Structure 1
Amino acid sequence: MSSVTPDQPRRPSAGTRPPGRPGAGPRVPAPRAGEPPRSRAPLPVAAGVAALWAALTGWLPVVVVLALVRLGDDTGSLWGALGAGGAGWLLGHGVPLETAAGPLGLSPLALTGLSLWRLSRAGVHASRAVGARGGRSPRAALTVAGAVGIAYALVGALAALLVGIAGTHVSPLRAGLTCLAAGVPGALLGALGTTGVGALLGRATPGWLAHGARAGVVAVLLLLGAGAGAAGLAVATGGGDAADMIGAYRTGVAGQAGITLVSLAYAPNAAIWSASYLLGPGFAVGVDTAVRTSEVSLGALPAVPLLAGLPRGPVDGVGAALLAVPVLAAMAAGWLLGRRLLRDAAERRVEVGWRALVGPAALAGPVAGLLLGAAAAASGGPVGGGRLAQVGPVPWQVAAVATAVVAGGALLGAAAAKVLAPRPAPR
């Protein structure tokens, strides 16, 4: 029985207001006395500052690492470390360097990843500065990305000029265009998330396309993870040779630490080469060389610690089990795809047909092939002239084999997930 009587009207609950009182909107802090209202930053200023900060935060780690390498050299200087840091920063973006030994175009992909991350943050900061945060405007996101990319291209061209003064020849035009090609997509990733356009694109993407693309990305990550594990195991097995190579430089503790950090910067390259090795196409460490599961043909190699883990011959015996790793990775991606589709269908109380399952699984193959082919292209390049003018895998071979392996494995994994799924209880 309610304790409220006509003489005791019900008290308004917390958060409600008496009738007749105008409802208050969201509280907005009033500007302080004498404080000017906040204004949005002009787009050129915001993009320029964000691009310059992204370049500086990507350049400073390179300077520190190369300064450690040069500490053991009596001829090393601060100006030389700064110039070498600029050259290394450009090399991380894929800009080839002209050296006395020939062209150098083998990019350290760890530095490439750092630069792309900093560019995405530049897109975030520039979007916030111009007031485009949460506006869900594709035009604003593209405008911010283009402005950051142009500013980043100017920074790259200026860096090429400064590196040229330091003694290393770099084409300013090539540097500017390469930094533009990296700056626009990198900044666009951050701008899409900040403006909210990325969420709109995600909702507008058809379900089969989103599931297939996700399965392809998962397969690529699993393959690269397997490649990284295999490469790390190989280097650990040949750890004695790697230690001897590092000690042979005679640069002291600081110099050896710098050489180790440089080797770690090329660790993503080694992971991609190892994944290509597991897939079958393999890679080259010089002209007319091949490192495959069925063939290993090598010549004289430079004293680089990462090369200490190269196989000595073709795979045989227990090592042949490595050939099943790419198929198992693709099947795992297909299994996860099938489980995800079945779980979504169970929540909506519908049944997943074979057509809805086979389409995304088959699409995972081309997605993985494109991604791994692009990674293979980015991981290779010349290391001077002569015999080392060809280093890395052949991109189209990696893309073709990855497409076939991932498509077949994903189909098997998705089919297994559907067949082995528990049957729903009868109503």
Structure 2
Amino acid sequence: MSEYLGSGPAWSPSGRTATRRSSALGAAFLGGVTAAGLGLGALTVAVLLLWVAAPYPDTSLSRALHLAADLWLLAHGGDLVRDVPHSAVPAPAAVTPLLLAVLPVWLLHRAARHTLATADDPGPATGPTAPRTLLGALLAGYLLVAGAALGYASAGRLAADPLSALLYVPGTAVATMAVTTWRVLGHGGAALLPAGVRRAVAKVPRRLRGALGGNRLAAARRAAGAGLVALLAGGALLTLVGLAVHGGRVRHDLLTLAPDWASRATVLLLCLLLLPNAAIWGAAYGLGPGFTLGAGSTIGPLGASAHPPVPRLPLLGGVPEVGPGTPLTWAVAVLPVAAGIWLARSVARMATDSGSADGAWPTSWSKSWPGPWPWRRTAGVAAYAALLCGVGAAVLAGLAGGALGHGALAAFGPSGWRTGLAAAAWTALTGVPGALVLRFWQLRRARGTAPADAAEATTDGAATTDGTAVTAASTATEGETAADGQEAADGKPAADGKTAAAAAPKG
């Protein structure tokens, strides 16, 4: 029996390697399927709970499942189309709730990070277990589920638009995996780019690459993030203030749109999912360009023009009334000024702290900049940060809006390029001089405290020296006493032997 068992085929190293590679590819593919399935399943559970809680549901179970697939595709940026009575052309619904988009992006990010952790060392190789190959398997599994969901949701009264889904779902997945790869692998992730892209980047002059990348890019990105967060926080505050000021109208819209508690819960959940969109709209309002509610209307701090009737969503109840601006609406200019000051504070802090003489605030991107930054570099980083802040604001404004129909409602929300241009201009006008002023003040303050610190250090040094001398003298005295005691114990004569002999009694 042992001879029979031992005569079987032996596993060669190449066979084990091939098995491991096939297992890695299968795990990556399954990771993509799981990420898509979890996102789709979570939305399905939420829709079914709302459907069960509705006292008089006017839809069937199949339409509820259809709605869950529609929402999952909408979360990736895909458009929906709905049938309109007395119209042969379906109306689009292209406003993506940004909070809803967090779910698929987060799941795909986790799957991509796990896949990269199981890949071989990053490099230009494209072997079966190389990061590029595994990410491709992950994307294939994710798009397989997306294709099935699109086939199920592409028909009905509220259906997914196939063209937009085929464009935005892969685009969202690729962008998420690209950001995850950059976060996990750092600069090593550039080796995963196509060879043509790497050659094109290599042709860029070195000085231009140094000015737009490396340490300056890292510092500017950090400051731009601070300014963008300040803009969004201000936009959220403006939204809440508008809802509080028009509280009666908001309550009326909620009661009119949702007469029962289940419907009100659904409407409030929709408002919660659209709250990041509203914060971006508020930021665009504070920057000046404002936003539109269709038919070429403009809602801004200088005034609100007439607009067509909009859906009675409570979140839209905080929109200002039609008419010219007032000093109260003009006061929202403090929002972009505060964002510029926050950006300037971040730049000035890096300009003074990252290169201090005592090595405070050591960071990886500041090691090549010893000492405080010169004023030219400080101004350049602040301007670069303002440009990145404008780009970020433009992207967010483009994602926060969309179309809610044809004709008058074809444009709904802020303009991306206008919002980005205003954000870059405001943060540059206040951020660049603010960074220089704060840098000068912090350096002057540091120079003023330096002499006091030096004097204190000198005093401490003198005290330490005196203490050392006293300690040395005390130690010497104790040593002499111990030596005398030792001599006495050994029976040796003391230094004053004659006196001791005279004082001793005679035998």
How many residues align? The count is: 386
Tell me the residue number matched to 1:103. 92
TM-score, normalised by the number of residues in structure 2: 0.70
Residue 181 of structure 1 deviates from its aligned partner by 0.7
Tell me the residue number matched to 2:40. 59
Is the counterpart of residue 264 in structure 1 residue 285 in structure 2? no
Counterpart AA for 2:273 = A
Tell me the residue number matched to 1:309. 318
Is the counterpart of residue 214 in structure 1 residue 222 in structure 2? yes
Tell me the residue number matched to 1:234. 242
Tell me the residue number matched to 2:141. 151
1:126–1:351 Cα change, 3 Å: closer
CA contact (8 A) 2:154 2:162 kept: no
CA contact (8 A) 2:302 2:330 kept: no
Q: Give the 3-state SS of the residue equivalent to 2:154 in structure 1.
A: helix
Aligned counterparts, 1:51-130, within 5 A: 51-67=32-48, 70=51, 71-101=54-84, 102-128=91-117, 130=118
Worse-matched range after superposition: 57-66 or 74-83 = 57-66
Counterpart AA for 1:423 = A
Residue 362 of structure 1 deviates from its aligned partner by 0.7
Residue 50 of structure 1 deviates from its aligned partner by 2.0
Residue 288 of structure 1 deviates from its aligned partner by 2.3
CA-to-aligned-CA distance 1:2-45 (integer Å, 9 cap, x gap): xxxxxxxxxxxxxxxxxxxxxxxxxxxxxxxxxx9995664542
Residue 143 of structure 1 deviates from its aligned partner by 3.8
1:159–1:375 Cα change, 3 Å: same
In structure 1, which of residues 342, 345, 359 is the aligned counterpart of residue 352 of structure 2?
Answer: 342
Q: Distance in 2 between matches of 1:126 and 1:251?
A: 48
Aligned counterparts, 1:146-225, within 5 A: 146-165=136-155, 167-172=157-162, 174-194=164-184, 196-197=185-186, 206-225=214-233
Q: Give the 3-state SS of the residue equivalent to 2:34 in structure 1.
A: helix
Aligned counterparts, 1:391-410, within 5 A: 391-410=412-431
Structure 1 unmatched ranges of 5 or more: 1-35
In structure 1, which of residues 41, 49, 55 is the aligned counterpart of residue 30 of structure 2?
Answer: 49
Q: Distance in 1 between matches of 2:40 and 2:335?
A: 37
Counterpart AA for 1:58 = G
Tell me the residue number matched to 1:8. none
CA contact (8 A) 1:123 1:188 kept: no
Residue 179 of structure 1 deviates from its aligned partner by 1.4
CA-to-aligned-CA distance 1:110-165 (integer Å, 9 cap, x gap): 1122222221111012223x444xx3447644444443333323322221111125
Structure 2 unmatched ranges of 5 or more: 1-15, 85-90, 191-209, 360-369, 455-507
Q: Distance in 1 between matches of 2:217 and 2:183?
A: 20
Q: Distance in 2 between matches of 1:256 and 1:373?
A: 33
Tell me the residue number matched to 1:14. none
Higher relative contact order (CA 8 A, sep 6+): 1
Q: Distance in 1 between matches of 2:298 and 2:62?
A: 40
Counterpart AA for 2:386 = G
Residue 385 of structure 1 deviates from its aligned partner by 2.3
Q: Distance in 1 between matches of 2:424 and 2:409?
A: 29
CA contact (8 A) 2:383 2:428 kept: yes
Counterpart AA for 1:99 = R
Aligned counterparts, 1:344-383, within 5 A: 344-346=354-356, 347-348=358-359, 350-383=371-404
1:238–1:415 Cα change, 3 Å: same
Q: Distance in 1 between matches of 2:42 and 2:269?
A: 10
Aligned counterparts, 1:316-335, within 5 A: 316-335=326-345
Residue 375 of structure 1 deviates from its aligned partner by 0.8
Tell me the residue number matched to 1:292. 300
Q: Give the 3-state SS of the residue equivalent to 1:423 in structure 2.
A: helix
Q: Distance in 1 between matches of 2:314 and 2:61?
A: 26
Tell me the residue number matched to 1:32. none
1:361–1:154 Cα change, 3 Å: same
Question: Alpha carbon RMSD of aligned pairs, Å?
Answer: 2.6
Q: Give the 3-state SS of the residue equivalent to 2:354 in structure 1.
A: helix
TM-score, normalised by the number of residues in structure 1: 0.82
CA-to-aligned-CA distance 1:396-427 (integer Å, 9 cap, x gap): 11111111111222212211211211132257
Q: Distance in 2 between matches of 1:274 and 1:380?
A: 12
Q: Distance in 1 between matches of 2:264 and 2:93?
A: 22
Q: Give the 3-state SS of the residue equivalent to 1:289 in structure 2.
A: coil
Q: Distance in 1 between matches of 2:105 and 2:124?
A: 21
Q: Identity across aligned pairs (percent)?
A: 28
Q: Distance in 1 between matches of 2:318 and 2:289?
A: 18
1:98–1:281 Cα change, 3 Å: same
Tell me the residue number matched to 2:7. none
Q: Give the 3-state SS of the residue equivalent to 1:103 in structure 2.
A: strand
Q: Distance in 2 between matches of 1:67 and 1:242?
A: 27
CA contact (8 A) 1:283 1:394 kept: yes
CA-to-aligned-CA distance 1:337-368 (integer Å, 9 cap, x gap): 11122011214572321112111101012101
CA contact (8 A) 1:284 1:290 kept: yes
CA contact (8 A) 2:287 2:333 kept: yes
- Which portions of structure 1, spanning 4 or more consecutive aligned residues, are displaced by more than 6 angstroms? none
CA contact (8 A) 1:44 1:147 kept: yes
Residue 296 of structure 1 deviates from its aligned partner by 0.4
Q: Distance in 1 between matches of 2:285 and 2:343?
A: 20
Residue 188 of structure 1 deviates from its aligned partner by 2.9
